Structure 1
Amino acid sequence: MDIILSVEAIRNHHLPSAETGVSLVPWTLPTIPEIPHWHDTLEICYCLSGKGVFYFKNREYDIEPGDLVIVNNVERHTSKSYRGRTCSNLFLFFQASTIEQLDFHLLRPFIYDRERFTHRIPGQLPIAQEIGKLIQQMQEELAERRPAYGTLVKSLLFHICSLLARHYDAETDGTWKPFYSKYATVRAGLAYIQSHYRESIHLEDVARAMSLSPSRARHLIAEVMGERFKTYLLHLRVQAAQRLLVQTDMPIEDICEQCGFQSASSFYREFRKLVNETPLSYKKRFSPAGRDT
């Protein structure tokens, strides 16, 4: 299975529905990790079979059946299957706002100090087994769509997040509330970037969306994201270019402009720096037309 096509399938289907508040995506990790990325949503991976690995900025975790991996929406990450050990999973995606509507304290497992937090919950632990059963029950409800299934799915989500909050109580106690306030402010900036990355945007624009001074916005983005504003923006633009290269027949010059790059030379330079190949060779490798030639 081609890596970028697999990543795009998740990206195109991970947005939660209004009725249930979640999206549950069965997915097999590719054998070559994609460029580290962020999602707009919070994410829980439940491993069903095989063996894989998740990579975060300073950590990596091997995963096997029954394991859970907790991912927030500001930490760059990537993942892959081990060759010969195809790793199949259920990915649960949901918006932070869905949890906030019930009890913002349930966001504790997703608002963390990345230097202390352990993303993986081993499958042999009772909490992982209980959450695994809840995710599978959620999958059944989503498949059968019986009366009141949307409410029931949301209740399962709240149950899962409550168990996670209990599990991570010691790791997040005393650290998450100050970070939550910063996270909530940064989310407004990230939303602005995601809506305007095709344009020529600057830190001052993002700071205005956050109601902060540029210097404070710069510091807060780096603290919460673990990445600078320009790094986040660049990754977002390159990922958008990858999508267009694979899924459309647009000329590369148009893709460059569509993704917010100011010149073809900067697009080629930054794309090659992150992807380790040129846009043209990337398109030939991963687009359907390229694979047929």
Structure 2
Amino acid sequence: MSVIEDRIGPKYRIGESSFTIEYMSRHDGNAMPQPHAHPFYELYYLLEGERVYSMNGQLLTACKGDLILINPHDIHTTSKGTTPGFERILIGFSPAFATGMELGLCGLLPFACSRMLHFTEADQPEMERMLWQMLQECKERKPHYEIAVRSLLAQVLINIHRVEENTRQSSPGPIHPMQDKISEIAAYVNNHYSDPLTLEEAAARFYISPSYLSRMFSRFTGFRFSEYLRVVRVREAQRRLLSTQERVQLIAEKVGFEHTAHFNKTFKQVTGTTPLRYRKEQGVHS
């Protein structure tokens, strides 16, 4: 693989938060400093290099030609692979932007789950052509470029659907003997977030020393064990705030917080807002 130089293109936007697209090339393999979630869809296409992607208890090693599909509100973060440099195109689009396309896309969204999809060498050129063309349309802003971008996004989503139908390829194997174990532990946290979990208890359950688990968990997920547990709990709280009429105190207890005040503080640290304000802003009335 050729040496990857730092090039970070502008983030192009359509509307305030309807559609974004950005090209990035980094030689140092930077990582997201915090677990991340947002109310829009995300497509992360790797042009070169290798990334370890963590989302919803999964750890996936992405290589050239891999596309990460992220549903709204799903937690994810990235970290370095065995080679630090990478080159990617990142797209974000709101559900409203997608449903606004009168192109029969109802069955293509939402994605069944956030996951990784591999494009073969034969399929990569067409996928990359559409992504680069979207970037070019947003850069030049010629008349009716918004319609052109919508059309290209529709083609991308159709292409994703066709590749999924035609190929059911498994994810690449782990790049480190501990990767499967860390993925197993992350899945355990996602299933037992309401329990009083600690790093020491998880280490004992999976027969690993706490210090080694701490190092490996940070390496493969991009954040500490306690941070991951905290965000998983807040993510579940967000779901409950939007899908139930339960009181904040009850939700705090159900997702593993002993004290409501601690829950409120943690929720604001992770989301930037309070639980009640989050529920109100999302249109759910108490």
Given the two structures, how large is their TM-score scaled by the length of structure 1?
Answer: 0.51
**Superimposed CA distance per residue, residues 71-105 of structure 1 (whole angstroms, 9 cap, x where no aligned partner):** 11122110023365311211010011222233322
The residue aligned with 1:90 is 89
In 2, Cα distance between equivalents of 1:148 and 1:93: 20
Aligned counterpart for 2:19 among listed residues 19, 22, 26? 22
CA 1:123–1:169: 2 relative to 1, 3 Å: closer
**Superimposed CA distance per residue, residues 122-175 of structure 1 (whole angstroms, 9 cap, x where no aligned partner):** 24254444222211111111111122111101100111112223334599xxxx
**Matched residue of 1:214: which SS?**
coil
Alpha carbons 1:37, 1:235 under 8 Å: kept: no
The residue aligned with 2:150 is 154
Matching of residue 137 in structure 1 with residue 133 in structure 2 = yes
**Matched residue of 1:55: which SS?**
strand
- Paired letter, 2:61: D
CA 1:83–1:167: 2 relative to 1, 3 Å: closer
Matching of residue 163 in structure 1 with residue 163 in structure 2 = no
CA 1:144–1:32: 2 relative to 1, 3 Å: closer
The residue aligned with 2:70 is 71
Gaps of 5+ in 2: 1-7, 168-236, 276-286
The residue aligned with 2:109 is 107
**Matched residue of 2:14: which SS?**
coil
- Equivalent pairs: percent with the same residue? 17
Alpha carbons 1:21, 1:154 under 8 Å: kept: no
- Paired letter, 1:214: E
**Matched residue of 1:106: which SS?**
coil
- Paired letter, 1:51: E
In 1, Cα distance between equivalents of 2:60 and 2:108: 24
Matching of residue 238 in structure 1 with residue 235 in structure 2 = no
Instruction: Please identify which structure carries the higher helix content.
Output: 1
CA 1:20–1:39: 2 relative to 1, 3 Å: closer
**Matched residue of 1:39: which SS?**
coil
- Counterparts of residues 144-223 of structure 1 (less than 5 Å): 144-169=140-165, 207=241, 210=243, 212-214=244-246
- Paired letter, 2:15: A
Higher relative contact order, structure no. (Cα contacts within 8 Å, ≥ 6 residues apart): 2
CA 1:70–1:128: 2 relative to 1, 3 Å: farther
Q: C-alpha displacement at 1:240, in angstroms?
A: 5.8
Segment of structure 1 superposing worse, 72-81 or 123-132: 123-132
**Matched residue of 2:78: which SS?**
strand
The residue aligned with 1:48 is 47
Alpha carbons 1:19, 1:150 under 8 Å: kept: no
Alpha carbons 2:37, 2:74 under 8 Å: kept: yes
- Paired letter, 2:269: V
In 2, Cα distance between equivalents of 1:229 and 1:96: 31
- Paired letter, 1:107: L
In 2, Cα distance between equivalents of 1:150 and 1:20: 14
- Paired letter, 2:24: W
Alpha carbons 2:40, 2:73 under 8 Å: kept: no
In 1, Cα distance between equivalents of 2:53 and 2:132: 22
Gaps of 5+ in 1: 1-8, 172-202, 220-226, 242-258, 262-293
RMSD (Å), alpha carbons: 4.3
Paired positions, count: 187
